[in-house]
Structure 1
């Protein structure tokens, strides 16, 4: 018995001397955890990572898709011939009307935006709204009051636009201080929502035939606004309400209320000043706004629900000819 005790004591001393003392019970219960953690980390390291966006190296037309909010979203981009990767270039995001799509907005027969971007020297982007159709046609934007399934399903169009801007800033040399939004009808309404929620991105916005239907708006910085509207618009009525030809029959905010709201949001103290008057159209501006912002309204007497200087998609009748929306908008953007 004595020899057994002595042998046990000697063995314990040998173990301790070799630094092989038994680990605490709590550690003994978790011997595999470090190995499991290392295995999981190694597996994560080997997992394929999303590829970085490939830079655009040639001018012309490009199409891309990305996943956002559980949806595959698409957009087109036109890069003008004068693009130089060494020089930051301004970028304009142009949003189609409700029931349209990016291909219609990019069609020069209707809007002339691609040729204008070539002439003026800016990147123009045509995102696509959401649609029940695989083709992406008959798409809408979630702009607050309007429109369609994008509004009804509360689609995250602001997040989608953020993703598009981030994607393109990795593909092209874009000037972050000269990113603008413009849109027709429902696309113009979305532009107002972007001014409310993405004032950190957009220096100015322009809306054609689309008033501000956001339920609340608190931009983080002043955003210059240009609004273009026809007095005889039968879809988004100049004085508000539901137009007789409106597909949504929404109670649209009036043009005067929209412009007054943005004058307040931008802290514009000066009274409106007439800056253009031609047969069939006039423009007035509110300046002396915070941060050098401006709120400008241009009105055509005729043209209905259309893009001045372009052609109506439905029936292809010409829009108002007294002014050119493309020229007015780019002049407004380029002075920011």
Structure 2
């Protein structure tokens, strides 16, 4: 077992702690770290989880002292991308420095996550990504002063699906989740407690259709990790309304038009079990990648009338 150092750093002692925590630790309360403790900086942690070498990147902001409990965010990359790509483009690195939370970017197996119905080897091999990410949360609580009431997850595409699955299966640890460009992709699930859940989706997404689609020729929706059929964004919102026992009252707000996005809107159910909320941000004419500034595909970096990362913290994770 070894750490991948490159631009990141991690002492051997901390690496050994990461290994032990991922394998054996249970979630800890938000108390100051008394052993091997994070200090501000960037880390790459490689650990063995259920027989697989797994890796995640961590950013501890300059404001972190360890004396005050801070929020924790897990930010999941999309299919065919990795943690460093999500770290570069999602905007959460800058928000970590701005708002003082610790950010983690996990790596999926073979650039994929085992979300509901997607994608590739993560899904086809039924990789236990939920327990891996639960172990990351436990590890962060072991060597940083994490506020257990403010643990959040987000991600894009296949990573958004991972955020959705964590909301269903790790709500005992997570306060709220936001999925970018991927629906729940099932009709129901059973969170351990009510959890805030939102989706941001583009109406012109040609990768994961905003309106959803069924698999052709009678094929299954999920074929060996390939999502041939997918739930629509509005159907996903309806599913979460049922799961969370929300009333029919729906708050609606038009978003700024931007240069190309007239008709973008935010809708939210605000009267749900446990006082949580669930909603949908619909980006009119928005595509699959909604991170402003993203230029890897050579397209216009103006992706949406909102800046996704600060919008998430201002509207959903401001708890």
- TM bucket, shorter chain: 0.7 to 0.9
How far apart are residue 249 of structure 1 and its match? 4.9
Q: Greater Rg, structure 1 or structure 2?
A: 1
CA distance in 1, matches of 2:112, 2:315: 26
CA distance in 1, matches of 2:317, 2:118: 29
Asked if 1 retains the 8 angstrom alpha-carbon contact of 2:188 and 2:239, the reply is no
SS state of the match for residue 255, structure 2?
Answer: strand
What's 1:112 paired with? 91
Q: Which residues of 2 match residues 184-333 of structure 1 at below 5 A?
A: 184-214=156-186, 217-241=189-213, 248-279=226-257, 280=261, 281-315=264-298, 317-333=300-316
The TM-score, its normalising length taken from structure 1, stands at 0.77
* Cα distance per residue 1:291-319 (max 9 Å; x no partner): 11001211111231112423153335425
CA distance in 1, matches of 2:45, 2:291: 29
The TM-score, its normalising length taken from structure 2, stands at 0.81
In structure 2, runs of 5+ residues without a counterpart are 1-14, 19-34, 216-224
How far apart are residue 159 of structure 1 and its match? 0.7
How far apart are residue 152 of structure 1 and its match? 0.5
How far apart are residue 116 of structure 1 and its match? 1.7
Aligned residues: 276
In structure 1, runs of 5+ residues without a counterpart are 1-49, 132-138
Higher relative contact order (CA 8 A, sep 6+): 2
SS state of the match for residue 188, structure 1?
Answer: helix
Q: CA RMSD in A?
A: 2.1
SS state of the match for residue 155, structure 1?
Answer: coil
Mean Cα deviation higher: 209-218 or 113-122: 209-218
CA distance in 2, matches of 1:51, 1:323: 41
**Does the alignment pair 1:121 with 2:121?**
no
Asked if 2 retains the 8 angstrom alpha-carbon contact of 1:144 and 1:215, the reply is no
